[in-house]
C-alpha cells in the first residue's frame, strides 16, 4: 500500500476543486481580457467571482488580490517590487534564516543589486527573538519578511506582534503564508500583514497558480511590476490569466476555510498518535517546537541513522528529508541547522506532513514501517515494541 505523507510538498487536487475547474477548459474557455464577446465576458465574470471568493477567505477586498503563476512568483513580485519602489532612499530588508528558499534566494539576488539584508537567527524551537528584531531596524528599513508557518518544522511565528513592531518603525510587513493557509486561521487584518503570497497546490488546488495579497489602505502598498506585456492584474502582473487554475484555487480556498477547524483537530490527533508510536522506545526526538506548530507536521530526528537510507527502506511511504524545493541540493537543511542541529543530526532527520486524506489505518501501517526501518538502520535503539 502506497502511503502519502508529503502534503507540505504538494497536495492532490480535491475532486470538488477539479469539478469547479473542468468547465473552464472546454465550455467556458474564453480569455477574460477579450472584452468584445460573450466568451470573454463569461471568463471575466468567473475571474471576478473567484477573486471575491479568495478575498473573503483571507478577509481582504477583491482589489487587493493579484493572481500569479504560484507562490514563488508572488514572493519575487513582493520583494523585488517593494525594493524598486523604495530605492534608492531606503534599501534594507529584515528576514529570517529559516525562510523558504524562494525568499532567501530572492534576497540574495537583491543583495547583488545593492539591497542590504539582515537575516535573523532563531532559537531551538525555530522562533525569532523579538528584541533582536527591534534592534535590527534602521532608518532605511522598508520591509520585514517573516513566514507565518515554516514548511519543514511547522513552527508558527507571532506574526501579529512582528507586524505591529514593523509598522511602528514605518516599514511594510510581508509574510509567506503558503504553508499556513488552510491549516490555521489566516486573516490579513488579524495578522497585520501588508503583503502575503499564497499557493493553490498546497491547499488541494492545481499547480501553476497562486496569489499575492497587497494591502490598499494604511498603508497602501505599491509595487513595481516584474513581468511586463499587457498590463493585466492592475498592471502588476502581465500575462493571460490561468482561468481554470484560478477557479480551482478559489474553490480550494473556500473548502479549506470551511473545514479547517475539523481537519486541524483530526490531523493533530493523527500526528500525535504517529509520533508517540514511532518515538516510543527509541532515541528519536521532534525537531523544533512541539506546541507552537502546524497540526499536520512532524519533523523527526533519529541520531545514528541517515534519513536518505531510511527513505530507501520505505519505498511505498512518501516522506521527505526536507523541503521539496531544496531536495536537489546536497546540503543539510538550512532550517534544521538554524535551530541548532549539527550536520549529522540534520541528515538523520525527516519530515512527515499529513493531510486531508490521511487515515488512522495509514498511521498504524506507516508507523510500523518506519519503526522497522529505523531499527534496521540502528539496532542499538531499544525497541520496547519489538
Query: Catalytic amino acids?
Result: 325
Helix axis angle for 243-279 and 38-58, nearest 10°, is 30
Rounded Cα distance, 47 and 32, in Å:
7
Q: For residues 219 and 172, is the Cβ–Cβ distance under 8 A?
A: yes
- Angstrom distance (rounded) from CA 324 to CA 149: 16
Q: Give me the half-sphere count of Cα atoms (radius 13 Å) on the Cβ side of residue 307.
A: 25
Query: How many CA atoms does the CB half-sphere of 90 hold within 13 Å?
Result: 18
For residue 312, count other CB atoms closer than 10 A to its CB: 10
Considering only the C-alpha atoms of the chain, give the largest distance between any 2 of them, rounded to a whole number of Å: 73
Going from the C-alpha of 328 to that of each of 68, 121, 240, 322, 324, the distances in angstroms are 25, 24, 31, 10, 8
Q: Are 169 and 140 in contact (CB under 8 A)?
A: no
d(CA 210, CA 205): 10
Q: What are residue 195's DSSP bridge partners?
A: 174, 214
Q: Taking phi first (over 0 means left), then psi (-120 to 50 degrees means alpha), and beta for anything else, what does residue 151 get?
A: alpha
Amino acid at each position: 500500500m502506497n502511503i502519502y505523507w508529503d502534503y507540505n510538498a504538494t497536495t492532490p487536487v480535491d475532486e470538488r476543486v477539479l469539478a469547479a475547474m473542468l468547465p473552464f477548459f472546454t465550455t467556458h474557455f474564453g480569455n477574460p481580457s477579450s472584452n468584445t464577446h460573450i466568451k470573454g465576458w463569461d471568463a471575466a465574470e468567473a475571474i471576478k467571482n473567484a477573486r471575491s471568493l479568495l478575498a473573503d477567505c483571507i478577509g481582504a477586498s477583491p482589489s487587493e488580490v493579484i493572481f500569479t503563476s504560484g507562490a514563488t512568483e508572488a514572493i519575487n513580485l513582493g520583494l523585488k517590487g517593494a525594493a524598486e519602489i523604495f530605492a534608492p532612499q531606503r534599501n534594507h530588508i529584515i528576514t529570517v534564516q529559516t525562510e523558504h528558499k524562494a525568499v532567501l534566494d530572492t534576497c540574495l539576488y537583491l543583495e547583488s543589486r545593492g539591497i542590504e539584508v539582515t537575516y535573523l537567527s532563531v532559537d531551538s524551537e525555530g522562533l525569532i527573538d523579538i528584541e533582536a528584531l527591534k534592534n535590527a531596524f534602521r532608518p532605511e528599513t522598508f520591509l520585514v519578511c517573516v513566514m507565518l508557518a515554516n514548511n519543514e518544522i511547522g513552527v508558527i511565528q507571532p506574526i501579529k506582534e512582528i507586524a505591529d513592531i514593523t509598522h511602528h518603525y514605518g516599514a511594510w510587513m510581508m509574510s509567506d503564508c503558503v504553508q499556513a493557509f488552510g491549516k490555521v486561521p489566516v486573516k490579513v487584518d488579524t495578522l497585520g500583514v501588508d503583503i502575503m503570497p499564497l499557493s493553490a497546490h498546497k491547499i488541494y488546488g492545481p499547480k501553476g497558480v497562486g496569489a499575492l495579497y497587497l494591502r490598499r489602505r494604511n498603508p497602501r502598498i505599491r509595487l513595481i511590476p516584474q513581468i511586463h506585456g499587457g498590463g493585466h492584474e492592475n498592471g502588476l502582473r502581465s500575462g493571460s490569466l490561468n482561468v481554470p487554475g484560478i477557479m480551482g484555487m478559489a474553490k480550494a480556498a473556500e473548502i479549506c476555510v470551511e473545514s479547517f477547524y475539523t481537519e486541524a483537530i483530526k490531523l493533530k490527533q493523527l500526528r500525535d498518535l504517529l509520533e508517540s508510536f514511532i518515538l516510543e522506545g527509541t532515541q528519536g526526538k521532534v525537531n523544533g517546537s512541539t506546541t507552537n506548530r502546524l497540526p499536520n507536521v512532524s519533523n523527526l530526528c533519529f541520531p545514528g541513522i541517515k534519513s536518505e537510507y531510511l527513505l530507501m527502506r520505505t519505498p511505498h511511504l512518501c516522506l521527505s528529508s526536507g523541503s521539496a524545493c531544496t531536495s536537489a541540493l546536497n546540503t543539510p537543511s538550512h532550517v534544521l541547522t538554524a535551530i541548532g542541529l549539527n550536520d549529522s543530526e540534520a541528515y538523520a532527520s525527516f519530515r512527515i506532513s499529513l493531510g486531508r486524506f490521511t487515515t488512522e489505518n495509514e498511521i498504524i501501517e506507516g508507523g510500523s514501517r518506519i519503526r522497522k526501518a529505523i531499527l534496521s538502520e540502528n539496532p542499538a535503539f531499544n525497541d520496547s515494541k519489538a
